[in-house]
Each structure stands twice: as C-alpha cells, then as structure tokens.
C-alpha cells in the first residue's frame, strides 16, 4: 500500500464510523413516546445522506485521481475528529490538575 493512499483510507474509515454512529442513534430504543422523535429522525437521515454523498465523492476522487477533491473531503472529515481528540486531551488534563 502506498503512503498517499493511507489518508483517503483513514477518511473512509472515519466516514464509516460517523455513519455507524448515526445508524446506532436511529436504531436505539427510546424511553417513551417523544414528540420530537420524528424531527430528530428526519435530521439524522439528512445527515446520513450527506455522509454517504461524501463517501461517494471520496471514492470517485480516489478512482479518478482528483487530489483536490480527496484533499477537500479529507479536511472536512478529519477536522471533527481532531477537535474531539483535542477536547478529550484538554478534559483529561483538567481532570488530573484538580
């Protein structure tokens, strides 16, 4: 495997994890009747569709060697993970400081 293919693979794995998180949220049982559930499901379906579109565009970018497209999608996909990692490190440091 070439090193330049590692970054799109990481982006694809992250997209898959994001999508599985949405599927879990859609399939999770509720504690009772919730009037906002329909709106929440609709929002999650729209976000899942956007993630699938990003996955298709990532695949097309890799297949047709469109580096600008792959780089843009990688930036969009990796940024939330980096923010989550930075926040996790911050909260661990804050917890151990007390």
Classify residue 29 by burial, with Cβ atoms within 10 Å: 0-12, 13-18, 19+. Answer: exposed
pLDDT in tens, the chain (98 residues): 787 889 999 999 999 999 999 999 999 988 888 889 999 999 999 999 999 999 999 999 999 999 999 999 999 999 999 999 999 999 999 999 87
User: What pLDDT is stored for residue 98 in this prediction?
Assistant: 75
Q: Could you tell me if residue 65 is left (phi over 0), alpha (psi between -120 and 50 degrees) or otherwise beta?
A: left
User: What pLDDT is stored for residue 2 in this prediction?
Assistant: 81
User: What pLDDT is stored for residue 34 in this prediction?
Assistant: 85
Classify residue 2 by burial, with Cβ atoms within 10 Å: 0-12, 13-18, 19+. Answer: exposed
């Amino acid at each position: 495997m070439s090193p330049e293919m590692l970054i799109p693979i990481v982006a694809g794995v992250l997209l898959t994890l994001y999508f599985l998180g949405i599927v879990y949220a859609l399939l999770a049982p509720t504690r009772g009747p919730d009037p906002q559930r329909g709106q929440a499901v609709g929002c999650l379906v729209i976000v899942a569709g956007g993630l699938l579109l990003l996955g298709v565009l990532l695949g097309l970018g890799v297949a047709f060697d469109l580096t600008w497209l792959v780089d843009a999608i990688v930036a969009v996909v990796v940024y939330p993970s980096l923010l989550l990692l930075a926040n996790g490190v911050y909260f661990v440091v804050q917890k151990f400081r007390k």
